[in-house]
Structure 1
Amino acid sequence: MARKTLTRDQIVHAAIEHLDTDGLEGLNMRALGKRLNSAATAVYWHVKNKDNLVLLATDQVWGELELPDLATVDWRTAATTMATDLYAMFTRHPWLVQVLAVHVVYGEGKARHDDHHLAVYETAGFTATQADRAAAAVFTYVLGNAAGTAATAALTRKLGDGSTTAEEQVKAAMTQAQEIAMRYPRLRARLETSAATGYAAAPDGTFELGLHALLDGLEKQHTGKAGGH
């Protein structure tokens, strides 16, 4: 693809595809140029460097999030929808968790989402300070839950390189973890049940349960303060 016909949008979309398959550690300009059938130097005509490209890709996927209409749904429904969609986005693009750990993330897409997230709580009557805290608490909860997905994706890439040593190391570590867990009654009871999928495996519905508990707490705190308690 010639430099003149290559566009920034094409580069960003190709970068997202590359990040989805190879993760943040696998992104480099040479590999991206090959994916675009172009020289790596042509990419630099449209983006400053790898860090700039990562921020552009991040903001692009943030734009995938749909924002609930606050005129037609209550704040709890809106907050739940936004948190669930954000978690789904992190699941689709697990490299985002890595990006948030090493980059200051900003852009139009993220600003649009963050502004609407604050509006959810302000519409419910939260003060600006309360809305800030509520939005931050929910975001941190979602990000923490998505960290497991990101770790699994990174491990899958590592095992996919044909290294039997890496796979053997993981199996050995899990075996040791389960042996230690068997010394403790509650962990042992769960490992011995047929429903257990493995040590440290989260039960189905864990994300939803935690999210509702968090929103319950925020609502109780807000209504309590409003009532003068």
Structure 2
Amino acid sequence: MTTTLITGANKGLGFETARRLVAAGHTVYVGSRDAGRGRRAAAELGARAVRIDVTDDASVAAAARAVEAGGGLDVLVNNAGVQAELSGGTVIGAAELTAEVMRETFETNVFGTVRVLHAFLPLLRRSVAPVVVNVSSGLASLTRVTAPGTPSHAYRGVAYPASKTAVNMITVQYAKAFPGMRINAVEPGFSRTDLNGHTGRQSAGQGAEIIARMAQAGPDGPTGGYFAAEGPLPW
């Protein structure tokens, strides 16, 4: 039985990824900052609930102990994320960006990812087929963001794409450090979630497909890559 933890899984992409992986036979831990919401989501999905706030060392450590006590971990999906530069339905641009917005964004999207990886690596290293999926974004691609006339080029925010580009680098470096693991970044596409005020072009269920697919990567699968549903993406 494959055991999977998904952070930020009580709603949106995390919830839909959990739904797919439960259906695929995984034992899934629904990670959530709010314990009540996590329990309700887990009950609906037939999953387990674990409270985890990726911005808090003690919370992450407690979650790791709980998952270890439950039998260990095979797959980690770093899904929890924020888009702090979205204010009142409008993305603030470079002229309005403050260090505080950048700090808030990186605390969850970047430092949170590293915090969770650090805490759960000992469990993953005991698995016979460990997998890590870091949820990135198409906005993380420098190639796309610098291509005039594209949606990525038109995005005016700074903090969110910068944080996801950092996630991509984290993915590459961890994949090199742990060649026995399958560690990849994924772009779920512009999906309707709370993160973007439900303005996305596709459903969260559609966006979850590539996350769930890469969460099921086998020992001979890719690692150190950056993927969308249609295939590899340019850095």
| TM-score in terms of structure 2 length | 0.27
| Larger RCO, structure (CA 8 Å, separation 6 or more) | 2
| TM-score in terms of structure 1 length | 0.28
- The structure with the largest strand share of the pair is 2
- The structure with the largest helix share of the pair is 1
